[in-house]
Amino acid sequence: MTSLKYALAAGALLLLTGPSLAQTVGQASGLRQESPIQVQTTFTLFVPGPSGDGEEAQKARDKSRRAVYEMAARECDLLREVLAKDCRMMSVTSNIGRQQYGQQQVEGYSVNGSVSFQITLK
């Protein structure tokens, strides 16, 4: 009975450590995943400015969208620095909502953005 317990314990240990050992050995030998993977980044920010219908409000909305696009462009650079040897932007989504509260709150736009990338690991 004792040898059966040892055999079961050894089998369980092998099942639990096998995948991590295989991953460690694969990475140590330079074998990395060559197929592309997807990365998605989401963010929220606030851009102050007039939120009406005039020219200044349009400039504030343009500034909001520009912030989303600039963040998306920098994200691919960051991915290349950290973990990607190749990065391709797949989609960008921006959602701008008017924020206009009482006289004590700042007027402007709440901006939500989402960016999807396809990368190949280094």
Residue 51, token pair as written in the block: 């939120």
| pLDDT tens figures, 44-102 | 999 888 888 899 999 989 989 999 999 999 999 999 999 999 999 999 999 999 886 65
Residue 47, token pair as written in the block: 């851009």
User: Which has the closest alpha carbon to 66: 51, 50, 81, 45?
Assistant: 45
Supply the pLDDT for residue 105: 77
Coil vs helix vs strand at 104: coil
List of long-range contacts for 82-88, beta carbons under 8 Å, 24+ apart: 83/119, 83/121, 83/122, 84/117, 84/119, 84/120, 84/121, 84/122, 85/120, 85/121, 85/122, 86/36, 86/119, 86/120, 87/117, 87/118, 87/119, 88/36, 88/117, 88/118, 88/119
Which residue stretches of 29-91 are H helix? 55-82
Which residue stretches of the chain are H helix? 2-28, 55-82
Among 3-7, 32-36, 48-52, 60-64, the minimum mean pLDDT is found in 3-7
Average pLDDT value for residue range 11-27 = 46
